[in-house]
Structure 1
Amino acid sequence: MNNQSDSTAASTYHQVTRKVSVAVIGAGTAGQNAFRQASKTKDDIVIINDGFWTTTCIAVGCMPSKLLIAAADRAHDANHSAEFGIHSSAQIDGKQVMERVRTERSHFESYIEKQVDSWPDHKKIAGRAHINEQGLIEVNDEVIEADKIIVATGSSPFIPEDWTDKLGETLLTSDTVFELPDLPKSMAVVGAGAIGLELAQAFNRLGVEVTLFNRVKKVAGLKDSDISNKAIDCLSRELTMHLGSKINDIGTQAAKGSQGALAFIDYEDSAGETQQWQGEYVLVATGRRNNIEQLGVENLGVELDDKNRPKNLSKKTGQIGDLNVFIVGDANAHIPLLHVASDEGFSAGNMVCDNVKNAYIRPPAVPFSIVFCSPQIINVGKSLPEIEEDEELEHVVGSVSFDNQGRSRVMGVNCGLLHIYGCKKTDRILGASMVGPDAEYIGHILAVAITNDLSIKQLLDTPFYHPTILEGLRTALRDVQHKMKIPFQSQDTQESTS
């Protein structure tokens, strides 16, 4: 892309070595989808990538974490079956656990690598791209002029300032933790979001002494306080958590009686008492940040806010205003989830075709997130604060506890709570939040219902097989239906009749 009206004048500063219709920067989930779709209508296209040519999900995210969780669940079941009359103790081979994580990860990577290998070599450039002041892409020894640019540079773990220097080799992130050759003896996890919760519980179940820190008394970013409190109740039964703690200092110190160093964390607990943790590693899970700051997108006319998020972003296509620039996937920091990145890349790849009006655009997905801890945590649709802030939404909250739900109790996984937010005017589901068994499946059913505008009655008319955990969903839906029949009363009336 060239922002100057006279490309010849621009090239006096940097000699253009290649001109293309479309340049895709980044080859993760969003970038690969964009490249595939754009290639269907454009032949003069190039994809530029710095680093591995797979995806964040496969290399350092969804897949290796789920492989670790799968091993952890096997160990947990073996060690916690006494209530069923099954007495056993798992012998955990840490080296084999980590080796399988990497071996199976390589298996998944091979499919992506095979696909990338099938792309013509002249359309692939391995190197770090920079967009110069003329809007030209500099990479290696090439200067590329592109009519349209799709930015899909992904994200990286956020590490607080100075922590890398202070912790040295004892610092881990979700990008490095799967390279451990063996399971450590002890670990602190800082951050109780999705990544922190999943990895903390998995390592704990595999015999690592884990302590989880979080600055607020919430987990998984839950915005429904009842669900968050229930999640804390369920998870704290097996996981040591210091929620509402403040970290004052962090670093390493010599280990007593042995070589090497131990990491330490000086912190104030929720009661304001000064404490210190010591252990082998500190896994920093304080979120991820988009890789866009040093790219030079401002030279394309893109404005970023104070958190490096692009302004004037189309949530459907990733297009920035009316510019021929598309920022998709984790790079735009909109919703950093794989299925969202996939849809954005697909849509952007279609938008660069000659006839944009006929481009196929995937509609924005219903907000949906899953945390694969045990019990699982899901959020679907609008959050409770969003609903409460909208004065036009008259809502009810349907609820069901899984503490005594039939199949959950049979299986010994009876800890959980589901809230469904129903709209009294439309008989539709606005959103839901849950911690509990089989939450990933209940979440999908609710997402389908919201996507297809199904009413509460239509959902209740579908079969719920007995005995299943999904029967809990029916109970919550019935609670929504029951509360919708109650005539709306003003606060004054409620207080006078209570």
Structure 2
Amino acid sequence: MNKQSDTATDDTPKEVTRKVSVAIIGAGTAGQNAFRQASKIKDDVVIINEGFWTTTCIAVGCMPSKLLIAAADRAHDANHSAEFGIHATAQIDGKRVMERVRDERSHFASYIKKQVDSWPDHKKIDGRALINEQGLIEVNDELIAAEQIIVATGSSPFIPDGWADKLGDTMLTSDSVFELEDLPKTMAVVGAGAIGLELAQAFTRLGVEVTLLNRAKQVAGLKDDDINNKAMDCLSHELTMHLGSEITDVGTTADGGNKSAFIRYEDSAGESQQWHGEYVLVATGRRNNIKQLGVENLGVELDDKNRPKNLSKKTGQIGDLNVYIVGDANANIPLLHVASDEGYSAGSMVCENTEAAYIRPPATPFSIVFCSPQIVNVGMSLPEIQKDSELEFVIGSVSFDNQGRSRVMGVNCGLLHIYGCKKTDRILGASMVGPDAEYIGHILATAITNDLSIKDMLDTPFYHPTILEGLRTALRDVQYKMEISFQSLDTQKDSS
């Protein structure tokens, strides 16, 4: 997006070194998809990136965390099979655990690296981009004039003010934790969202003494109180959690020459407490990486949380500017498949491929936390439903505490709520903690997306004995409560 001529002026000491149709800043999932799509039509496309040329998912997110969880689950099963008459104690080789995480991560990354390596060198720039007041991109020794700019700079862990200085090398984030050469003995995890829960439980199962702290008396952002309480109950069987705690200070102390971290906090009862240990894993969320990019020089306005204003959720375009902000950078829905779709859309849009230039937002909101038991939310949340006075609903429920297959497998702790609409016989949403939640969530998401009725769902087969039979029980409960509601309404009409 060029705002000046090629010739340098008094305000611009450098001359434009390159003019391109499209400049993509950031080479994660969204950026790579945008580059591939734009390159199909435009030859003068450049992609600029600082740091790793893979993706957040592969480098520091989905894949290494699931690799750690896989190891943790192996250890947990070995150490907790006495009820089945199987007695064993897992011998955990921490160095090998972390080595495999990195080895497999490199394996996944190699496929993306191969693809990036195949791109022409002159179209790739390794460096930090800055958009100046003339709307030109400064990177290394280049000054690039781009007709259209796609910003796909991703996100980084959010660290509370001052914590990095106070904690020093005792502080970990989801970007650094997988670089540990060995498993530590002790760790505090701050934040009980998806990242915090998954990593806290995984390290606990691998023999690390973990303490999980969270400001709210809540896990995984659950908005259904019954599901939240059940999740806390299930997870507390193995996790040491201090929920509803307010951290007042963090820092380090030297004990006999060994530096250790500390956290001072007030617990849910208002009592002052202190934790000491090797590392503090800060899992307080992620923030988009656009604050230092200079997008305001293009006329892009950000709100108080660095989210771009006037963002089209259909295309990622900012107003009528030739600027697109996609993926985690727009702080919309920070999920890989969403970033992929947004990058594809932006890459199509800048090439005037309007048929492909639209973002297909998930037809049904859907989230999974891969702790054990798993946590899933699908569709509308309970507060959203309650807020809409036009919606008449019932809550179908099933406990997995005594569900057949769950009990057989020794994973019988959980609860599912399905929110059913009485007027339409459709599923509005669901929330669950329990075994096989990822699969039950997918089935419910498919049902909502395809507008299936409760009857349609119950007409499908549920094989015995499976954990999925619990889904049928909850659907039957929805159906029963709807029938009772209608009968009550008919009785009221007759009496009037």
Q: Secondary structure at the match of 2:175?
A: coil
Shifted more, 226-235 versus 135-144: the winner is 135-144
Maintained 8 Å contact 1:10/1:134: no
TM-score, normalized by length of structure 1?
Answer: 0.95
Task: Tell me the distance in 1 between the aligned counterparts of 2:142 and 2:176.
Answer: 32
What does the per-residue CA deviation read over 1:238-272, in whole Å, with 9 as the maximum and x for residues that have no partner?
A: 000000011111111122xx432111111111111
Partner in structure 2 of residue 137 of structure 1: 137
Whole-angstrom CA distance in 2 between matches of 1:437 and 1:443: 11
User: How far off is 1:322 after superposition?
Assistant: 2.1
Conserved? CA contact 1:20–1:145, under 8 Å: yes
The equivalent position to 2:358 in structure 1, one of 355, 358, 361, is 361
| 1:173-215 Cα distance to aligned partner (Å, 9 max, x none) | 1111111110000000000000000000000000000000001
The answer for the alignment partner of 1:87 in structure 2 is 87
Q: CA deviation at 1:487?
A: 3.6
Structure 1 equivalent of residue 157 of structure 2: 157
Name the counterpart of 2:204.
204
Q: Where does residue 52 of structure 2 map in the other structure?
A: 52
Q: Secondary structure at the match of 2:16?
A: coil
Give the secondary structure class of the aligned counterpart of 1:419: strand
| 1:241 corresponding residue in structure 2 | 241
- Check whether the contact 1:189–1:200 (CA below 8 A) recurs between aligned residues: yes
CA shift for structure 1 position 300:
1.3
**Are 2:40 and 1:36 equivalent residues in the alignment?**
no
Residue correspondences, number = 489
1:485 aligned counterpart, secondary structure: helix
1:463-498 deviations in Å (ceiling 9; x for gaps): 11111001111111111122222346999x99xx9x
- Give the Cα–Cα distance (whole angstroms) in 2 for the partners of residues 479 and 11 of structure 1: 73
Asked whether the 8 Å contact 2:313–2:359 carries over to 1, the reply is no
- Aligned counterpart, 1:63: 63
Amino acid at match of 2:16: V
Partners of 2:211 and 2:51 in 1: how far apart?
32
**Separation in structure 1 between the aligned mates of residue 323 and residue 317 of structure 2, nearest angstrom:** 6
Match of 1:473 in 2: 471
> Residue 390 of structure 2 aligns to which amino acid in structure 1?
E
Instruction: Please name the residue that 1:102 is paired with.
Output: 102
**C-alpha contact (below 8 Å) 1:353/1:359 kept by paired residues:** no
Deviation, structure 1 residue 335: 1.0
Residues in 2 aligned to 1:342 and 1:8: alpha-carbon distance in whole angstroms: 34
Question: What residue is the counterpart of 1:410 in the other structure?
Answer: 408
Query: 2:237 & 2:77 partners in 1: Cα distance?
Result: 15
The aligned residue for residue 15 of structure 2 is 15
1:170–1:263 Cα contact (<8 Å) kept? yes
Q: Distance in 2 between matches of 1:451 and 1:33?
A: 25
What is the DSSP-based 3-state SS (H/G/I as helix, E as strand, rest coil) of the residue aligned with 1:262? Answer: strand
Equivalent residue in structure 2 for 1:336, among 315, 318, 334:
334
- Mean Cα deviation higher: 479-488 or 381-390: 479-488
Q: Report the Cα distance in structure 2 between the residues aligned to 1:351 and 1:485, rounded to whole angstroms.
A: 49
Q: Is structure 2 residue 189 aligned with structure 1 residue 189?
A: yes
Counterpart in 2 of 1:284?
A: 282
Structure 1 unaligned segments of length 5 or more: list them: none
Match 2:443 to one of 441, 445, 455: 445
C-alpha contact (below 8 Å) 2:346/2:357 kept by paired residues:
no
Letter in 2 for 1:359: A
In 2, Cα distance between equivalents of 1:411 and 1:238: 18
Cα distance in structure 2, aligned partners of 1:98 and 1:184:
11
C-alpha displacement at 1:7, in angstroms? 3.9
Q: Is the 8 A contact 2:420 2:429 kept in 1?
A: yes
Alpha-carbon shift at residue 331 of structure 1 (Å): 0.4
What's 2:426 paired with? 428
The Cα shift of 1:122 comes to 1.1
- RMSD in angstroms over aligned alpha carbons? 1.8
Comparing 176-185 with 140-149, greater Cα deviation is found at: 140-149
Q: Secondary structure at the match of 1:469?
A: coil
Hey, what does 1:264 align to over in structure 2? 262
Displacement after TM superposition at 1:301 (Å): 1.4
- SS in structure 2 at match of 1:385: helix
3-state SS in 1 of match to 2:484: coil
Structure 1, 400-409 or 383-392: larger mean CA deviation: 383-392
Kept in 2: contact 1:34–1:349 (CA 8 A): yes
* Alpha-carbon separation, structure 1, partners of 2:98 and 2:254: 27
Separation of aligned partners in 2, 1:339 and 1:316: 15
Alignment partners' CA distance in 1, 2:465 and 2:269? 44
- Write the distance in 2 (CA, Å) between the matches of 1:193 and 1:158: 13
**TM-score, normalised by the number of residues in structure 2:** 0.95
Q: Does 1:349 align with 2:347?
A: yes
Q: C-alpha separation between the residues in 1 aligned to 2:49 and 2:480?
A: 55
Residue 428 of structure 1 contacts residue 454 of structure 1 at CA under 8 Å; is this kept in 2?
yes
Matches within 5 A, 1:306-325: 306-325=304-323
CA contact (8 A) 2:6 2:16 kept: no
Aligned to 2:459: 461
In the alignment, the residues of structure 1 paired with residue 5 and residue 484 of structure 2 have an alpha-carbon distance, to the nearest angstrom, of 68
The separation in 2 between residues aligned to 1:208 and 1:16, in whole angstroms, is 54
Identity value in percent? 83
Q: Give per-residue Cα distances to partners, 1:298-332, cap 9 Å, x unaligned.
A: 11111110000011112232111222111111101
Could you report, residue by residue, the CA deviation over 1:267-299 in whole angstroms, capped at 9, with x for unpaired residues?
A: 111111111111111000011110000101111
**How far apart, CA to CA, are the structure 2 residues paired with 1:75 and 1:131?**
49
Q: Name the CA distance, whole Å, in 2 between partners of 1:324 and 1:486.
A: 56
Q: CA 1:10/1:219 → structure 2, altered by over 3 Å: closer, same or farther?
A: farther
Deviation at residue 8 of structure 1 after TM alignment: 5.7
* Partner Cα separation in structure 1 for residue 483 and residue 473 of structure 2: 16
Partner secondary structure for residue 286 of structure 1: coil
1:319 is paired with a residue whose SS is: coil
Q: Distance in 2 between matches of 1:422 and 1:78?
A: 40
Please, which moves more after superposition, 140-149 or 45-54?
140-149
Q: Does 1:380 align with 2:378?
A: yes
Q: Residue deviations 1:323-357, cap 9 Å, x none?
A: 2111111101111111111111111111112342x
CA shift, 1:361, in A, is 2.8
CA contact under 8 A between 1:151 and 1:326: conserved in structure 2? yes
Q: Secondary structure of the residue that 1:211 maps to in structure 2?
A: strand
Change (3 A) 1:165 1:8: closer
In the alignment, what sits opposite 1:125? 125
CA–CA distance in structure 1, aligned partners of residues 391 and 340 of structure 2: 31
Partner of 2:73: 73
Q: 2:316, 2:326 within 8 Å by CA — same for their partners in 1? A: yes
Q: Secondary structure at the match of 1:309?
A: coil
Write the letter of the residue equivalent to 2:267: D
The letter for the 2-side match of 1:159 is I
Query: Take 1:472 and 1:316, find their aligned partners in 2: how far apart are those partners?
Result: 37
Q: 1:475 to 1:140 in 2, by over 3 A?
A: same
Give distance in 1, aligned partners of 2:303 and 2:168: 31
